[in-house]
A and B are shown apart, each in its own frame.
Chain A
Amino acid sequence: MPFWTIVYALLFYIATALLVGGLAYKIRQYAKTPAPLKIPTTPAPVTRQGVVLRMFREVAFFESLFRSNKWIWVFGYLFHFGMFLVLARHLRYFTNPVWTWVDLIQPFGLYAAFAMAAGLAGLWARRVFVDRVRYISALSDHLMLALLLAIALTGLGMDYITHTDIVALKAFFLGLMYFNWQPIPEDPLLLVHLGLVAALMIIFPVSKLLHAPGVFFSPTRNQVDNPRAEPGLRAHDSRHIAPWAAELDK
């Protein structure tokens, strides 16, 4: 088995394990930590269905960010939904036969890569040129943008500059998935691209990328506005109370 194949095969097993394990740990932590008080940012929905809708608007449209700052919204939206399409497009390397909807979005996925890169560039420009954002940026905040932008640009590079053997690449990843290793194409651009992706997977659970699972656990967004005893919303003999707080009543 060629050297780079062994390195990248092991790298992706490790990266996947860290990503999945790390995220599972954090999600479990968020789920198990009690929310002792009702703190939805009001006006908030008074029903569970309403909260689901609020969360959907937040995740699908970045509703709060839109109210907050149109520039961050535009760049953030270009980046995230560009990346979403790009990731969806990449499913073709992991499925055989390729799912129909993945086939259908292939043409959009390409433009999405430009949107992703443009969004990242815009966010980075704000980090450098807006004094308030520059003040709050640590080195890691710049590096995170650099990493994502490098992933996008190396990916685009393989579309426009030097193509790689995507049939062999697909065989490599399917081989990883079914434990039947196949050689990886040894194009420098591809190896850099994949190395950066693995790095991103590894740092995901120990970085600010935790905002992805975190938003779903944010009490100000995911709680129903029904704290008080109120006809139709909460019975007079029911209360929202955390286990550790209930101990105080004893």
Chain B
Amino acid sequence: MADFETPELKEYPVIPLLHEGVMAHSKPFIAKEQFQEPLGFPGELVDNWQQVAYDKMEELTGKYRSLQVFLDACVKCGACTDKCHYYLGTSDPKNMPVARQDLYRKVYRRKFTFAGKYFPRLVGAVDLTKEVLDDWYSYFHQCSQCRRCSVYCPYGIDTAEISMAAREVMDTIGVGQKYCNEIIGKVFKIGNNLGLPEPALADTLEGLEEDIEDETGVKVRLPLDEKGADVLVVTPSADFFAEPHVDGLMGYAKVFHEAGLSWTLSSHASEAANFGMFIGSYENMRKLSLRVREAALDLGVKRIIFGECGHAWRVAYSFLNTLAGPFDFLDPNYPVPQHILEFTHDLIQRGGITLDKSANDDMRLTFHDSCNIARASRMGAKPGGQFTIPREVIKASCNHFFDMPQDTIHDATYCCGGGGGLLTDDLMEIRVKGALPRMEALKHVVDEHGVTHMAAICAICKSQFAKVMPYYGFQMDSIVSVHQLVSNAIVMGNKQ
């Protein structure tokens, strides 16, 4: 299958001993000029790259309090050292959150602190040499920015902030990552990560309408660019045809149909994902977000609802108002934006849809909390709604639900291993190894409760699990969308 060994699933999680440098070879493809330029980055390593990098580092610590405080505050207590799924899966010490941060911090210290300038050996400060840059490129692309370390740090130091800064510095000197930067360019040019143009999108949606009619006998619409619709739905483009994503999209359509709500997708904002966050570029993240605002204004909608996607929900929930607000032109009775699960959950509570749980009796389910939803956003009015709302929707749609062990769910959830811009074939080894803690937790409920399927609410999680689960002996179709369960269980035509 591949030129690396899949880690063994153990009965109980074990913190591995260090094996230095075992993942140093893991590097994603570098972005060529054509993928760098649309984002405003140089096409290759610039001549005076060292100085350009230092200048950028200085600019970033001046712009982000998080970065400035996090670089100063770490005391090397070691609390985070066993918290990263990539460390647990690889045993490479540079995948310990503090060691990953230190790749950046040691350069910050050398250039910008008294101790590092005058006593570099004492505090472990170094210049940004080519070797250090290589380490940056390797190990800052072994961080999925999942924020698990930030939960456990006594100062809340979030490695994601540091790897975002490092990637921004690397982009600025011309060392970008192909996967992320190519995708961002596609959104600028076409509107979505997959590069699916409007006619193809319209065609796909028509096909899905036919599928639903064949299956249920009910004509359910998946409207595109319909002016005057009440709700703009923004969803990850993987929902348009990847499995199991597309089953989720059909679920949204059925829910809207039953709710009798007029809604539309947009070809201009046909992507919920925002890879600008992964590369730490505020400007690119903002440009991507503005497409949602433009689409909402253009179509004259009253509300915006986001589909199942992890980091997209972080950008939508936490950043959209900042990046593309204010949304004073939308209906003030609803949050902007809303999550599709908030909408469906509310509908279930009010008896607005009828669900037949037995439709999912062929599955025994567990739920994977997506990192960006669990630790960087909320659903509903109360803190922690991001944990209860998806579970309540799942439990309303099926009879057999079992949670994975407590230290692997909610805000202690493990990343799928493919987030943060790592969902690319050139990083397969780190993706498989990074999935280890989640796979161990899954095995636990498979053994204890006979769980057959795991539901997720993130396009990246779904794609990642479909790909890596076979490495661990699970079926690739044992990952399902939450709205796929809703789609199976919803009783159509009930409310018309």
Contacts and interface: CB of A to CB of B under 8 A. Distances in A.
Interface of A: 26, 29-30, 33-39, 41-46, 58, 62, 64-65, 67-69, 72, 76, 123, 126-127, 130-133, 135-141, 143, 203, 206-208, 210-211, 214-215, 217-221, 225, 227-232, 234-242, 244-245, 248
Interface stretch (B36-44, B146-154, B181-189, B443-451): B146-154
B154 A206 contact: no
B79 A242 contact: no
B113 A133 contact: no
Given A132-B18, A229-B325, 7 more contacts: A39-B318, A58-B154, A64-B151, A68-B152, A76-B154, A219-B66, A219-B69
A221 B151 CA distance: 10
B83 interface: yes
B155 A215 contact: yes
A214 B18 contact: no
B318 A37 contact: yes
Given A132-B96, A221-B156, A227-B321, A68 B336 contact: no
Contact of A38 (B150, B319, B326): B319
A93 to B, nearest CB: 28
B61 A33 contact: yes
Contacts, number: 241
A228 B317 CA distance: 6
B386 A37 contact: no
A227 B152 CA distance: 23
Contacts of A242: 63
B83 A68 contact: yes
A231 B332 contact: yes
B328 A135 contact: no
The CB with the most chain B CB atoms within 10 A, among A68, A130, A238, is that of A68
A140 B122 contact: yes
The CB with the most chain B CB atoms within 10 A, among A41, A65, A138, is that of A41
B78 interface: yes
8 contacts: A41-B158, A41-B376, A64-B156, A68-B153, A126-B78, A132-B81, A215-B154, A231-B332
A167 B219 CA distance: 92
A68 B93 contact: no
Contacts of A208: 72-76
Nearest to A64: B154
Nearest to B411: A43
Interface stretch (B3-11, B262-270, B377-385, B421-429): B377-385
B64 to A, nearest CB: 7
A44 B70 CA distance: 19
B350 interface: no
Contact of A229 (B158, B319, B326): B326
Contacts of A237: 326, 328
Which 9 pairs across A and B sit closest by C-beta, in order of nearness?
Answer: A214-B73, A220-B156, A68-B152, A43-B383, A138-B124, A133-B78, A132-B81, A221-B156, A68-B79
A133 to B, nearest CB: 4
B419 interface: no
A106 to B, nearest CB: 30
A220 to B, nearest CB: 4
B96 A140 contact: no
Contacts of A239: 321-322, 325-326
A247 B362 CA distance: 55
B62 interface: yes
B316 to A, nearest CB: 8
Interface in B1-22: 15, 17-18
Contacts of B79: 64-65, 68-69, 72
B82 A132 contact: yes
Contacts of B75: 141, 208, 211
B205 interface: no
B95 to A, nearest CB: 11
A220 B122 CA distance: 30
A69 to B, nearest CB: 5
Interface in B377-424: 377-378, 381-384, 386-387, 411
Contacts of A36: 63-64, 282, 322
A241 B322 contact: yes
Nearest to B335: A230
Nearest to A215: B155
Interface in B80-109: 80-83, 93, 96, 98-99, 102
B65 A35 contact: yes
A68 B73 CA distance: 17
A65 B63 contact: no
Contact of B383 (A26, A46, A207, A227): A46
Interface in B335-391: 335-337, 374-378, 381-384, 386-387
Interface string B46-74: 00000000000000011111101110111
B73 A136 contact: no
Given A229-B335, A236-B326, A135 B99 contact: yes
Contacts of B378: 42-44, 46, 225
B121 interface: yes
B330 interface: yes
A238 B336 CA distance: 12
The CB with the most chain A CB atoms within 10 A, among B77, B320, B337, B387, is that of B77
B326 A68 contact: no
A60 B115 CA distance: 29
A211 B79 CA distance: 15
B283 interface: yes
A132 B76 CA distance: 10
B227 interface: no
A64 B153 contact: yes
A37 to B, nearest CB: 6
The CB with the most chain B CB atoms within 10 A, among A220, A240, A241, is that of A220
A65 B115 CA distance: 27
B68 A227 contact: no
Nearest to A211: B73
B154 A140 contact: no
